[in-house]
Structure 1
Amino acid sequence: MAGSRFTSALSVLSLASAAIAAPLTSANTANVLNRRAEEICKATSDCIPFTIEVAWGGVDATGAGSRGAILTNGSFPGPALRMKVGECVDFKVINHLEVDTGVHFHGIQQTGTPWSDGVPGLSQYAIKAGDTYMYRWTADEQGGYFYHSHYKGQLMDGLYGAIFISPSDEEENPFSAVDSSAVDALKLAAAKTEPLFISDWSKYTFDQFFAIEEAANIDIACADSLIVNGMGSQTCLTKDQLTALSPPQVANLTAGAGYTAKGCIPANTPATQGNFTRNLAALPADVYDTCTPSTGKTYTLEVDAAAGYASLTFINPGAFAILKASIASHKMWVYDYNGHYVTPQQVDQINVANGERVSVFVKLDQAAGDYQIQISNMGLNQVISGSAVLKYKGSAATAVTGTALLNVAGNPITNTTTVVPFNALKAAPIPAEQVSKTADRTIRMQIQKLPNQPDAYRWTLAGNTPYDMSNDDGTPLLYKDPATIQESDIIKKTNMGEWVDIILETTGPLAQPHPIHKHANKFFMVGQGKGPFNWTSVADAVAYNASMFNFANPPFVDGYTTVPGEGTNTWTVFRYKVEIAGAWFLHCHMQTHFSGGMAIAILDGVDNWPYAPSDAGKVCQGEGSSNSTWNPSCNCPASCPANPGKGPDGNGQGNGQSNGSSGSGSSGNSGSGSNNASGSSNSGDNSGSSSSSSGSWDNGVWVGPNNPSTGDVTSSENTGSNSYVPNSNTGSYSSSTSGSGSGSNDTSPIKTFTGAASSSHVSLFTVLALAVAALSL
């Protein structure tokens, strides 16, 4: 694959001649193979030490009262890890939970370290309660990523934190296309990018949530609120407001009933829930029908206009909601998308699907004030939105200033408001990456509710078979001889060097979008369309009409959202090269869909199968340090003057005490100050029209059961959002950051190793529009 590639610090381990043994820090001892790779701890590590302790605690995210959640170093979300390309990390997890866990590094390719992907049942045994486990891996590509639990549904309980990897000094970047006169300011802003975790939030823990789905036999798509960095509110709209914001489709879908008091399509709607027998008596009223307003804290990010630009990285770890984000009176330049620099786009709005990371520059050229960062739901399933605050240094504002672009339903405030959204189809990678025009292998998937069974919450990526969460507790596929593993609907195999097509067809008539994530090898999104995929391969489809595909400069990502559609199937095609051998997931990143079975395992490179070191997971941290521009070891050089608590005396630096246990910062230096505590730290989009009567182009995708064999397809820029059944109402109801109670602002942004938001942070986000697109049948 073209582009920057860095050999893992562990690549010195001989993967070809080694074999694996059982896990090291857990009680599991079965399935030990005779051959082993070289031990990880044999040599002294110069990797960055980073420790997280995970424990169950209370979180009041919306001011409605505490619910159980997973705290990381006592905080929610967890602390950020910042590195530089070429550096490795010793990422230590201390499991204080009473249950198993595992930590995945979302978007990190794990070149040479497939045993560090963090997926129980695929790449490791689960980390047992009370155990300590260490992952070691190397940062091989710049970008925004995040770590999160990959054990059953724990992601919904809050175990996640940001990872930022700075580029190598010589790496190409797209900053001059944003502002050629301010490249240095943009570099500094990118090095200091701030994470904004935006997601849906429920008062119920994952176990409670899933139990309600089972008992009521529904697929829940109704949230209490949308939160930003663990803060938000539950806001309740009046019936008149909901009616004014309701698009025509809702009346048709609900037989005139309209939205519930929580702004949700009712749980008894067949068009969105499917034709299943429901037990609504088992559904608590507050899941769909009862709205109780509450006011928590508002996340506030302070910026300094003297810097010229700020960088924000939006990350969606949510359960089911695909979200929109905009900033009052500010445009955004998207420069990094799902782990890769892209051709910059100046936009008013970005769409952030589950598992996605979108990094933007914001020019700080407005008057000092507090500007609303608005989050809204993308789909019809719920009218809900929320907000944070972008606060200029020196602002004395007592209320949010500036002009919001979107209303509470995420639509333009007025019919004359022009909103330019981010177009993922045009996210051409920088530097350019080359995709093969042919493939060696095809994996075809059928996304749908699990057929011929009674459960409304069960999904399949493979067409007929769901992935079972109980596999998390089994022997990892990586710890087996691949020759003994039989291919099936949910287990596929590839060989090293192959180009693989993944054809994803989503079953209609209501084909909602699905944010699909692949572990390890990134992929190119080469084509998508509406209607069935009527060919046996991409080659056949290209022969029929090559204009349906982009092999020149397609998005190069680890996650992409399938195309939605009404009244028809839709299809999306990913193509990737097998360069990193191991056992990897391909799955929907909506937690409700993933837990319902929408996943498969791909055993990439079975002809050069890697065997885990005998001491994989063993704790053997070294004394490395990070060269990242923005990290606690800066000690206030000119390159990072805003690094908080980092005076010349070293106050506040890493290796502090967190919850009575040692935390590790990226610098490995000890701090002596009182703030020592938190430690661990296409160019063308194929839009246009066709003269063929068999179909047409719509929003960048081909529409029709048969694609055009004749006629010219004229490419034209598409500025419409690629959203699922977007709300069409453009009423004037405006979202407000004020809630029904007396909340407060938290002005301390999440910084590396400063503990993020504490467990007492109450999520205020006034009504984050967090509705996932309507559920397919």
Structure 2
Amino acid sequence: MAGSRFTRALAVLSLATVALAAPLTSINEANILERRAASDICSAKSNCIPFTINASWGSANPTGAGARGVILTNGTLPRSSTPNEGRRTGTPWSDGVPGLSQYAIKPGKSYMYRWTADEQGAYFYHSHYKGQIMDGLYGAIFISPADGGEEGPFFSVDSSAVDKLKLADAKNEPLFVSDWSKYTFDEFYAIEQAGNVDIACADSIIINGIGSQYCLSQDQITAMSAPRIANLTGGKGYTKKACLPADTVATQGNYTRNLAAIPADVFDVCTPSKNKNYTLSVSKIDGYAALTFINTGGFSLLKATIDNHRMIVYDYNGKWTTPQTVDQVAIGNGDRVSVFVKLDQPVADYQIRVSNNGLNQLISGFGVLSYKGSFGISASSVPAMSFGGVNLTTIVPFAPAKAAPFPAETVGQKADKTYFFNIQKLPNAGHAYEWSLQGNTGYSMNNDNGTPLLYKDPSTVLESDIILKTNMGQWIDIVMQTTGPIAQPHPIHKHANKFFVIGQGTGSFNWPTVAQAQAAIPSAFNLVNPPYVDGYTTLPGENTATWTVFRYKVEIAGAWFLHCHMQTHFSGGMAVAIMDGVDKWPTVPSDAGTSCQGSGTSNSTWNPSCYCPASCPANTGKGPDDTGSGNTSGGNNGSWKNGVWLGPNNPAGANNTSSSGSGYTPEQQTGSYSSNGNGVKSSSSNSTSSLQAYTGTASSSHVSLFTALALTVAALVL
């Protein structure tokens, strides 16, 4: 499989959780753990790099609409959490899932994660304790192939610019795109329970932790509404916040609701706010820029365009793919979609547009792709979609079903075992916010605080609706059917290893086996070179059910999650635990999670009694000497034209220090201070942290030298 082709390297993390609130520092610098120069690895002979990450409650105001509680990592947002992507060969206790692979981390305690970085790709790590990703626990990881390993699909993208593409890939810039709510997850979930609703209405869409709350007029909402919205809502149409009303039966279910318990600003009241938007600086001389869109939202499926620029998708959910040249990319929750952008336009600023990709709400967020030397928004800038996500011209969208892995992967031609799931509201529960992945039972968040399945003898655990068992080497089929009348798409993620997406269709899956379905409708299946990913969004449908089939080989023994990546659905029970490889069940070492650094800080010495190699010293390096150019474009003003939000004009001189394609400022690398939401520098509570937020310079000579990485908290109980 793919993992054997890449250098195996040990990555470790010492995580400390802190119950005290920390002061707000930067809210627009992402937690990026990525490719690093050879000189920055802790020693020439070592094969691991330690990082220490401190998680604490703090306050943030990313949209200018008012501060709320968030989980800060080393004093910043967005950042944080645990290894939940990629393979964990030999260390299944480093998956970061409380109740499955570890005990929840308590306040004031620490946990060290170790795992092998053996699969190239763009990944993302985050909390699996309830819905803490909505409070800011997330970050990016980039894994490069080993020196002399497989080449990416660069030649297929542009055979005349392979070196420039490699360099762009080495400096890949993560764009965290997500919905944002003024409520913490606990508050959000309490409102769902009090009102008996499933909330899918956001205050704003933010990019790398910043944005604004835009409010439409009633005329604009009406103009952007699809004709079927009137029927869907019983003639009501969207609310003044451009959301489906809380009593929309088709999406909420036919339950008794307590609408009076829902604050008006959740569904109905929109209060505009103005804040700077994220600016990505690029240089035309580079020829190409590489971006990775990462959906870290709670419930919004998203899509993105860049004015006047096409995108070339070359990596999808942890796997190089056959390149697709597109105008728009869809980004499901948990997705990582890496694209090349050819820098062939006149020097200027161009809007990055991120819109909701569903019927639940008309909403967008904005960023700026700014060429070095730009004086503002291009006068010839042409948007591809409106604020409501409506295409303004004929476009080519990214087609995930055609994302064939590059190089090709071999899928098993038959399955040894098949599981059938029926995604729906939890039957007979009477609660709109409770869900089932299996069809009859919801996975309870109370399991987060129990004894992890990994610590149990599989023979003592009964297989059930929410606990499945497999043996090593088996090929497993998972048939996902989504019940109508509104078959909502669901971004499904599998821990431990990737799966093949071998088939999908509309209607009910009425066959007892996948083989019989394949014989009946061969055009709906692909067993030649199907997508090979760790996450995939099921088909949507109106007035019909839909189905999707995943196939994977059991290669890594452990207790793993299969779940919907929408945090509201995941917390509402849309998950099952799979005990893969029960015939080769691992034994958890007595010191699992024990910090190899005595004090749990980045500059303490290694404890020689730990499993970690003695050759790994503390990581005291500051990263490449890469100060970046900064970016002083910004501004809060903007305008509408023909129903299209043109976004801020970003006049030069506004106070907007942000990352460039070449790196962040030295102050942000050391963590001593950085710019807050108002462009004002403030002290950090973790100035000695070894975790640097930077992209790092790179050249074609060391594109693949990134052989170790670090992760953050799996579960923060505060």
Q: TM-score, normalised by structure 1?
A: 0.75
Q: Deviations over 1:39-78 (max 9, x none)?
A: xxxxx97411122111111110110111100111111112
Hey, what's the Cα distance between the residues in 2 that align with 1:612 and 1:24? 19
Is 1:442 aligned with 2:358?
Answer: no
Residue 560 of structure 2 corresponds to 584
Q: Deviations over 1:219-275 (max 9, x none)?
A: 001000000000011111100000000110111111221111111011111112110
2:456 counterpart letter in structure 1:
K
Residue 54 of structure 2 corresponds to 53
Matches within 5 A, 1:148-547: 148-169=126-147, 170-397=149-376, 402-413=381-392, 417-547=393-523
Is 1:760 aligned with 2:676?
Answer: yes
| Residues 25 and 617, structure 1, Cα contact 8 Å, conserved in 2 | no
2:246 counterpart letter in structure 1:
A
Shift of residue 758, structure 1, vs aligned partner:
5.8
CA RMSD across the alignment: 2.9
SS at match of 1:301: strand
Query: Structure 1 71/25 Cα, relative in aligned 2: closer, same or farther at 3 Å?
Result: closer
Residue 529 of structure 2 corresponds to 553
Hey, what's the Cα distance between the residues in 2 that align with 1:207 and 1:743? 36
Residue 748 of structure 1 corresponds to 659
Query: Structure 1 672/479 Cα, relative in aligned 2: closer, same or farther at 3 Å?
Result: closer
Query: Structure 1 675/338 Cα, relative in aligned 2: closer, same or farther at 3 Å?
Result: closer
Shift of residue 171, structure 1, vs aligned partner:
1.1
Q: Deviations over 1:736-757 (max 9, x none)?
A: 32399x9854433595873799
| Residues 371 and 401, structure 1, Cα contact 8 Å, conserved in 2 | no
SS at match of 1:104: coil
Q: Deviations over 1:550-570 (max 9, x none)?
A: 000100000000111111111
Number of paired residues?
616
Residue 100 of structure 2 corresponds to 122
SS at match of 2:647: coil
SS at match of 1:754: helix
Hey, what's the Cα distance between the residues in 2 that align with 1:199 and 1:521? 25
SS at match of 1:737: strand
Residue 113 of structure 1 corresponds to 91
Hey, what's the Cα distance between the residues in 2 that align with 1:675 and 1:69? 29
The range that moved more, 610-619 or 370-379, is 610-619
Q: 1:140 aligns with which of 118, 140, 143?
A: 118
Shift of residue 431, structure 1, vs aligned partner:
1.0
Residue 594 of structure 1 corresponds to 570
Residue 68 of structure 1 corresponds to 69
Shift of residue 172, structure 1, vs aligned partner:
2.8
2:498 counterpart letter in structure 1:
K
Is 1:736 aligned with 2:646?
Answer: yes
| Residues 75 and 755, structure 1, Cα contact 8 Å, conserved in 2 | no
Shift of residue 5, structure 1, vs aligned partner:
4.4
Shift of residue 25, structure 1, vs aligned partner:
9.9
| Residues 443 and 502, structure 1, Cα contact 8 Å, conserved in 2 | yes
Hey, what's the Cα distance between the residues in 2 that align with 1:567 and 1:496? 40
Residue 637 of structure 2 corresponds to none
Query: Structure 1 588/755 Cα, relative in aligned 2: closer, same or farther at 3 Å?
Result: farther
Shift of residue 178, structure 1, vs aligned partner:
0.7
Query: Structure 1 464/319 Cα, relative in aligned 2: closer, same or farther at 3 Å?
Result: same
Give identity over the alignment, percent: 64
SS at match of 1:292: coil
| Residues 356 and 388, structure 2, Cα contact 8 Å, conserved in 1 | yes
Hey, what's the Cα distance between the residues in 1 that align with 2:345 and 2:508? 48
2:659 counterpart letter in structure 1:
S
SS at match of 2:115: strand
| Residues 234 and 294, structure 1, Cα contact 8 Å, conserved in 2 | yes
| Residues 326 and 405, structure 1, Cα contact 8 Å, conserved in 2 | yes
1:738 counterpart letter in structure 2:
P
Residue 78 of structure 1 corresponds to 79
Query: Structure 1 250/745 Cα, relative in aligned 2: closer, same or farther at 3 Å?
Result: farther
Hey, what's the Cα distance between the residues in 1 that align with 2:281 and 2:603? 26
| Residues 59 and 760, structure 1, Cα contact 8 Å, conserved in 2 | no
Hey, what's the Cα distance between the residues in 2 that align with 1:116 and 1:298? 35
| Residues 314 and 359, structure 1, Cα contact 8 Å, conserved in 2 | yes
Query: Structure 1 228/276 Cα, relative in aligned 2: closer, same or farther at 3 Å?
Result: same
1:210 counterpart letter in structure 2:
Y
1:404 counterpart letter in structure 2:
P
| Residues 320 and 405, structure 2, Cα contact 8 Å, conserved in 1 | yes
| Residues 296 and 744, structure 1, Cα contact 8 Å, conserved in 2 | no
Is 1:668 aligned with 2:619?
Answer: yes
SS at match of 2:397: coil
Residue 85 of structure 1 corresponds to none
| Structure 2: segments with no counterpart, 5+ residues | 18-44, 605-615, 628-640, 680-718
Hey, what's the Cα distance between the residues in 2 that align with 1:181 and 1:621? 48
SS at match of 2:549: strand
Hey, what's the Cα distance between the residues in 2 that align with 1:239 and 1:125? 49
| Residues 298 and 744, structure 1, Cα contact 8 Å, conserved in 2 | no
SS at match of 2:82: strand
SS at match of 1:119: coil
SS at match of 1:334: strand
Hey, what's the Cα distance between the residues in 2 that align with 1:674 and 1:283? 51
Matches within 5 A, 1:36-51: 46-51=47-52
2:677 counterpart letter in structure 1:
H
SS at match of 2:318: coil
Shift of residue 213, structure 1, vs aligned partner:
0.2
Q: TM-score, normalised by structure 2?
A: 0.82
Shift of residue 621, structure 1, vs aligned partner:
4.8
Hey, what's the Cα distance between the residues in 2 that align with 1:390 and 1:125? 42
SS at match of 2:176: strand
Hey, what's the Cα distance between the residues in 2 that align with 1:762 and 1:214? 35
